[in-house]
Amino acid sequence: MKGICILGATGSIGVSTLDVVARHTDRYRVVALTANRQVERLAAQCQQYRPDYAVMADADAAERLATILHDTAPETRVLSGVAGLCEVVALENVDAVMAAIVGAAGLAPTIAAARAGKRILLANKEALVMSGNLFMAEVRATGAELLPIDSEHNAIFQCMPTDFARGLAAVGVTRILLTASGGPFRDMSLERMQGVTPDEACAHPNWSMGRKISVDSATMMNKGLEVIEAAWLFNTDHEHIEVVLHPQSIIHSLVRYVDGSVLAQMGNPDMRTPIAHALAWPERIDAGVAPLDLIAVSRLDFQKPDLARFPCLRLAFEAAKVGGSASTVLNAANEVAVEYFLSGKIAFTSIAPVIEQVLSNIPATELVTLEKVMETDMIAREEARQVIEMHHRKVV
């Protein structure tokens, strides 16, 4: 039996993970579940899966959860805060940690899982974008196993030779081709994008996801973050990564080899496939996903992404080129801008200009400690708020 801890259990990835785990109760046992504020949802999960621990990041929410579980799942201990999150990932009976908290909030517990040498199923791409060098160093130091959940990275992992850590050139890989659906506004003009609402931005044509990543997909910042994520995971740089628009989301990414071969991983767009892959690796288990019907799909299209209509993708490539703290700043400014957009305070088309301004206001430095990463994240967030208040806030 493998013990599983799910960070962000109440989210889209968390729920899909529980769905896969529930299909294999002979293999997996839920040891800990965590959330931020959704008390009722976490309480229901605890009543169903009976974990040893439940953690709410929010202290008041933790108190409310403890009251509910006192009568309904008394064996589950309730903890709170970042300390609670970092404690449960390191429990002795936890073998694998699903890192599925959204945004920078996931960094500390995900690093704690690396320090504890666990198998990390990494969905929280922001952690890697913020602090790739430090995160990868922790993973190498403890021998933690890092398995990508992001569908593209999971696809790349499946198409790579097992010894890719030796360096891509050494294993005959010349390029990573990262596919992108293009999101809900793939063919929309910039003028029309100006007035789109949060709900329109969150209505992804192929995937059902949390609201933050849905907006990232609509701006294509998600693909930008994924370029940086891929560079860290596969020990390469942005020059060896190409983004290819593929509207059907059937090919999840490809790897090109020096002999002309190109390997692709395909499947229906359902996150339970990468989750099941990473949980069971190197074995394969049923994910509950319908078999791919190629006749029904009938065609696969590919296009070049348009950097003029999707400036966030350009900004991410630029930040990847600069290196150091640039991607930490990019990520922080993006999180703030997306939050403002989701609460109706800035236009969709203001997201990229805010990030661009913050990147140009904060000079890039090397990030040698985690404290420095957190400080840079805080400074960039404050800068983003100021840039928004001065230039982009909607007048209501």
| Position 150 contacts Mg ion (CB under 5 A) | yes
- Which of 310, 392 has the CB closer to ligand NDP? 310
| One-letter identity of residue 42 | L
Q: How far is the CB of 294 from Mg ion (least distance, A)?
A: 22
> Which of Mg ion, ligand NDP, none does 205 bind, CB closer than 5 to 8 A by kind?
none
Contacts of residue 156, Cβ cutoff 8 Å, sequence gap at least 6: 148, 176, 178, 230, 233, 234, 253, 254, 255, 265
Name the residue nearer to ligand NDP (CB basis): 82 or 171. Answer: 82
For residue 33, the number of C-alpha atoms closer than 13 Å in the C-beta half-sphere is 27
**CB closest to Mg ion, residue no:** 150
Which residue number, 14 or 357, has a Cβ lying nearer to ligand NDP? 14
Query: Dihedral angle at the C-alpha atoms of 304, 308, 312, 315, nearest 10 degrees?
Result: 100
Q: Which residues in this chain contact ligand NDP in the complex, by CB under 6 A?
A: 8-14, 35-38, 57, 100-102, 105, 123-126, 150, 207, 209-210, 212-213, 271
Tokens of 2: 């493998």
For the bound state, the minimum distance from the C-beta of residue 121 to Mg ion, rounded and expressed in Å, comes to 14
Type and span of the H or E element at 97 = strand 96-99
- CB closest to ligand NDP, residue no: 11
Structure tokens at 259: 């002999």
Contact 186, 245 (CB under 8 A): yes
Q: Rounded to the nearest whole angstrom, what is the least distance from the CB of residue 47 to ligand NDP in the complex?
A: 16
**H-helix or E-strand spanning residue 48:** helix 39-49
Binding partner at 37 among Mg ion, ligand NDP, none, C-beta below 5 to 8 Å by kind = ligand NDP
Pick between residue 85 and residue 139 the one whose CB is nearest to ligand NDP. 85
CB of 151 to Mg ion, least distance (A): 5
Closest approach, Cβ 386 to ligand NDP, in A, equals 22
Helix (H) or strand (E) segment spanning residue 318: helix 311-322
**By the 8 A CB rule, do 240 and 121 touch?**
no
Residues forming contacts to Mg ion in the complex (CB under 5 A) are 150-152
